Amino acid sequence: MPGNKYPHYEQWEHTKPRPTPPADPFALLTPFLQSWTIGFDHPFRVMEELRKSTKPTYPPYNILSLEDDKYVIEVAAAGFSKSEIGIELKENILTITGSKDSADGEYLHKGIAGRDFEQKFILSGDMKVLSASMADGILKVSLEREIPESKKARKISIK
Where are the chain's structural domains?
1-53, 56-101+115-159
pLDDT at 111: 78
Q: How confident is the model over 23-38, as pLDDT tens digits?
A: 666 666 666 666 666 6
Q: Which has the closest alpha carbon to 70: 146, 144, 147?
A: 144
What confidence tier does 150 reach under pLDDT thresholds 50, 70, 90? confident
Structural contact between residues 16 and 9, judged by C-beta atoms closer than 8 angstroms: no
What confidence tier does 115 reach under pLDDT thresholds 50, 70, 90? confident
* Model pTM score: 0.64
Task: Please give the residue that has the higher pLDDT: either 78 or 132.
Answer: 132
Beta strands in 19-122 (DSSP E): 61-67, 70-76, 85-90, 93-98, 117-122
Task: Please give the residue that has the higher pLDDT: either 93 or 43.
Answer: 93
Q: What CATH architecture does domain 56-101+115-159 belong to?
A: Sandwich (2.60)
pLDDT at 22: 62
The yes-or-no verdict on residue 6 having pLDDT over 70 is: no
Q: How confident is the model over 37-51, as pLDDT tens digits?
A: 666 666 667 777 666
Average pLDDT over residues 112-133: 88
Task: Please give the residue that has the higher pLDDT: either 138 or 12.
Answer: 138
pLDDT at 8: 61
pLDDT at 58: 84
Rounded Cα distance, 94 and 74, in Å: 13
pLDDT at 154: 85
Cα dihedral value 57, 58, 59, 65, nearest 10 = -10
Q: What is the DSSP letter of 150?
A: G
